[in-house]
Chains A and B, each alone.
Chain A
Amino acid sequence: MKAKQLPGEARRDFLKGVVAAGGSAVLLTSITQVAQAEHWDAGTPDSSVDSRGYQETPHVRAYYASARS
């Protein structure tokens, strides 16, 4: 007789099949750590920016520019 599988185990088995294969998880971890470090380096605060509230980003500036035209 097959033991009834717990819901959490079913989810884990599902992930095993589609997301985690072999040593891939470890490899991705190193990529994401470096990628995040690059991103944070690029995001070094500009002392001229008021960090207390809303800040315009290139995306938002571009959006408002297009809305004005």
Chain B
Amino acid sequence: MAADPRRPPAEDPISIEEQSRADVYRLLGALLAAAPGEEVLSLVQGMHGYTGGASSPLIEAVGDLKRAAETASVESLGAEYYRLFIGLGRGELVPYASWYLTGYLMETPLAALRQELQRIGIERQAAISEPEDHVAALCEVMGMIICENVLQFDEQKTFFETYIGSWMGRFFADLRQADAAVFYSAVGALGERFMGVETTYFAMPA
């Protein structure tokens, strides 16, 4: 995804807390867009910064992800990703908003999302062929919305509730429990807890 070059850059830098929200979205997006390569796997294995200091259910889930990464390899993750999302005929999970909301691919939720992305000036890069309602694409978009101050709190809340909160928690719960999921079970647990954090965050007064 890319921001509309006509849109001026964000005037105010975001807080470290908002940056952290964006980073979790981007981490989830990156891990769900494709199986991690050597460099990403190595970085996830080295996330020791999360095991010290303050803790929370979300931070514990990041620690669990690190531990799952320690027993994984690029090859095992590639095979796991294939079984989960691609498969012979179909993967175990179908990671699209349209599927979760209507039971079909490329349905009205995708059309509505495309209109909204056009309105806020975010477009799919030519190199990316996944439809915009893929879980990884939506995580990446939300990370971009936060990082670049594309939408203020009220509009972010509407975007989250319409395109993310309406289905992504169910997807992450399915991912956590999927038969083929080992490393990705930890990704699902992290995503599930993060959706809970985001739901609480957006329920707070504007």
User: Which residues of chain A have C-beta atoms less than 8 A from B15's C-beta?
Assistant: 12
Contact B56 A43 (CB under 8 A): no
Q: State which of A38, A63, A66, A69 has its C-beta within 8 Å of the C-beta of B37.
A: A38
When the two chains form their complex, are residues B86 and A36 in contact, meaning their CB atoms are under 8 A apart? no
Determine whether B8 belongs to the interface, using a CB cutoff of 8 Å to chain A. Answer: no
B201 touches A36 (CB 8 A): no
Q: What residues of chain B have their CB less than 8 Å away from a CB belonging to chain A?
A: 15-21, 23-24, 26-27, 29-31, 33-34, 36-37, 39-40, 43-44, 47, 49-50, 52-59, 62, 85-91, 94-96, 105-106, 125-131, 134, 140, 143, 153, 197, 200-201, 204-206
* A36 CB to nearest chain B CB (Å): 6
Any B CB within 8 A of the CB of A11: yes
Question: Is the CB–CB distance between B23 and A7 below 8 Å?
Answer: no
B179 vs chain A, min Cβ distance (A): 17
Main secondary structure of the interface of A (DSSP, over half): helix
Assess whether B30 is in contact with A36, with CB atoms less than 8 Å apart: yes
Residues of A within 8 A of B (CB): 7-8, 10-12, 14-25, 27-32, 34-36, 38-40, 42-45, 49, 51, 54-60, 62-63, 65-66, 69
Report the separation of the CA atoms of residues A11 and B204 in the bound assembly, to the nearest whole angstrom.
Answer: 7
Can you list 13 A-B pairs, Cβ within 8 angstroms, ordered by A?
A7-B204, A11-B204, A17-B54, A22-B52, A25-B20, A29-B19, A31-B40, A35-B40, A36-B30, A43-B125, A59-B134, A62-B88, A65-B90
Assess the A25–B54 pair: CB atoms within 8 A. no
Known: A27-B47, A43-B128. A20 touches B89 (CB 8 A): no
| B126 pairs with A59, CB closer than 8 A | no
Cβ–Cβ < 8 Å partners of A31 in chain B: 23, 27, 30, 40, 43-44, 47
> Is the pair A62, B49 in contact by a Cβ cutoff of 8 Å?
no
